[in-house]
Chain A
Amino acid sequence: MGSRCAAAAVIATLLLLAGCGASDQGEERPTRIVSLSPSATETLFAIGAGEQVIAVDEESDHPAGVPRTNLSSYQPNVEAIAGYEPDLVLLPASVPRDVAAGLRRVGLTVISQPAPANLDDAYAQMRQLGRATGHPEAAERLARRTRARVERLIAAAPAGARLDFFHELDPDLYSTGTKTFIGRIYQRLGLRNVADPAARRAGTPYPQLSSEAVVAADPDLIVLADSECCGQSPATVGRRPGWQQVAAVKAGAVVAVDDDIASRWGPRIPVFVARAVEAMQLARGAEAGS
């Protein structure tokens, strides 16, 4: 009886130690992080994991001072990534699948984050990065703070009859349907997407429209996500043939938003939402004035 008891105590102790060992290992922070995802890079620096990051891709340009390299976030070279001897590699969905497979084959830890389907997904990705880098509390705080700011903006958005919007990705009039991260944000704002019929017909979340299709849809507000890449602005839109007849142009409800802010899902989500709300206010203001 006594020996059995002792044996049980030993086993229990061993299990406990093993358990502690495992959890210790889990909380060990990676110190050589390579991020090829500009969104993830922004989040890492916002949750205090910046010092653990040794290299980021050429598109990661925020915040200032990130260790930018010439690693590509589209066609990265496995060997070049492995050369940094990282203990954690963060990949966006744009990276081909065989890259992640190749990195895992050489024994590296890889987290691949696809574009989030909606805001909740984006907050979940922040928390995932927090857990993976040893900053779960800071990530939780960031997720909550971002969510609170976004919800405040949505609650303060002007109400009234439903407004139509056009979100422009480039001057060839590629846009985004509702079934994308950005599209879901507009949906939360109660806006109607003029690119949706095109997205449905073409079977793509990023359809290309013609000038005629946009002008005929007559959106109440236009958000330009091609201001940095392609120099588009309310002025250039106003000079496009036929666009002077569009409600958004007549009302002055055309706003430019930094391309990067409109295409990432990190701590700057509220900046984008604020711009969209601003466009709504401009459209509403014109409505009230007329």
Chain B
Amino acid sequence: MTAGTLSWRWLAAGVGAMVAALLTGLAVGPAGIPPGALIEGRLSPLQEAVLWELRAPRVLLGALVGATLASAGASYQAVFRNPLADPYLLGAAAGAGLGATLAIVYGGFLPLPLAAFAGATGAVTGAYLLGRSVGDGRGTATLILAGVAMAAFLTALQTLLLQQNTENVRAIYSWLLGRLSTSGWHEVGLVAPYAVVSIAVALAYRRLLDVLRVGDQEADALGIRVGRLRLLVIGAATLGTAAAVAASGLIGFVGIIIPHAVRLLAGSSFRVVLPLSMLFGAAFLVLADVVARTLLSPAELPIGVVTACIGAPFFVLILRTSREAAA
């Protein structure tokens, strides 16, 4: 592989994986629509409703959320030059969790997705302002620490609220573990604009993010306004993440393992990592959702559990094979 450029082979593999995952997602489900009837278009009204009003939006939402979380994860790792960064680093998950919990407990003041979105963006904005006010505005360490503090604080508030409203435990818990099980076109419409903007910004700045890898001062010397770039990329990634969690709850692990798996397999330039993370992130989450709804079908497994359960061993496998290949 040549450093820095995305080979056609990998691009084709990414697109192929995503298309295959989407088709699998459409074909598999508890309603058990026979593939023959599907291809010939001989479906009952009920089967049509299942396919187009339930399965199709669910699969598409999974792809959007997976692509957004993976590309946001890669963006965060780029601007923080930190391999452990994920889309929830600056408190997006904790803020969304608090927002969702408030919406569930004091139902009616805001729809849940809006409350989660506001919580996520609010938390990251707060962490960013806090980090800037205590740091010199340039280093990433103070920003990360501000994010950690913000996340811990908001999680504590959320837990307190949960503890005092135990009758809502199941609803809150179910949201925290992520869900695509009741999604429709409405949710797809909610997420799509943010996902597109977030992914487009990350892709547009992929070259500058590569330059950023050499260090803040060096990038500065090369004429890049580092602070502005960081703010822009964090902003776009956060919008995407907030929309994703608003529609589907907290789905962990996608934002961290997909970019790393891509990096290990296809190369570490962000011109490679960002587009491939998007494609493989979409494929991964759609397939994880297929597992979530078929493993115990017709019962559902929380998708957050599936992404971690499949993701962790899968990631270790990639880590091992890539190290063996390097040795």
Contact = CB atoms under 8 A, between A and B. Distances in A.
Interface of A: 59, 72-75, 169-174, 197-199, 201-202, 204, 207-213, 215-218, 229-231, 240-242, 244-246
Given A229-B168, A241-B57, A209 B299 contact: yes
A202 B293 contact: no
Given A172-B182, A216-B31, A197 B298 contact: yes
A170 B31 CA distance: 21
B298 A173 contact: no
Contacts of B55: 212
B107 A216 contact: no
Interface of B: 29-32, 45-46, 49-50, 53-55, 57-58, 107-108, 163, 166-171, 174-175, 179, 181-182, 184-186, 293, 296-300, 302
| The 4 residue pairs across chains A and B that have the minimum distance between CB atoms | A216-B31, A241-B184, A198-B299, A202-B299
Q: Tell me whether chain B's interface is mostly helix, strand or loop, or mixed.
A: helix
Contacts of A173: 181-182, 300
Contacts of A72: 166
9 contacts: A201-B296, A202-B296, A207-B296, A210-B182, A216-B29, A216-B31, A216-B298, A230-B171, A240-B182
Contacts, number: 120
A210 B167 contact: no
A131 B50 CA distance: 53
A231 B29 CA distance: 28
Nearest to B289: A210
A213 B294 CA distance: 11
Contacts of B107: 229-231
B101 to A, nearest CB: 14
A59 to B, nearest CB: 7
Given A212-B58, A231-B108, 7 more contacts: A172-B171, A172-B179, A208-B300, A210-B54, A211-B184, A215-B54, A229-B107
Contacts of B29: 210, 212, 216
A251 to B, nearest CB: 14
A61 to B, nearest CB: 11
A13 B4 CA distance: 103
Nearest to B48: A245
A210 B45 contact: no
Nearest to A174: B170
Nearest to B47: A216
Contact of B182 (A207, A211, A231): A211
B167 A215 contact: no
A212 B45 contact: no
Contacts of A246: 46
A270 to B, nearest CB: 24
B50 A210 contact: no
Contacts of B31: 212-213, 215-216
A212 B186 CA distance: 16
A75 B163 contact: yes
Nearest to B183: A211
Contacts of B298: 197-198, 201, 209-210, 213, 216-217
A201 B30 CA distance: 12
Q: Which of A75, A212, A230 has the most CB of B within 10 A?
A: A212
A204 B30 CA distance: 18
Nearest to B173: A172
A208 to B, nearest CB: 4
Contacts of B30: 210, 212-213, 216
A6 B175 CA distance: 78
B178 to A, nearest CB: 11
A246 B300 CA distance: 20
B54 A74 contact: no
Contacts of A207: 296, 299-300
Given A210-B181, A212-B54, A242-B184, A201 B168 contact: no
B181 A215 contact: no
Contact of B54 (A172, A174, A199, A241): A241
A229 B171 contact: yes
Contacts of A240: 182, 184
Contacts of B166: 72-75
B49 A170 contact: no
A211 B299 contact: no
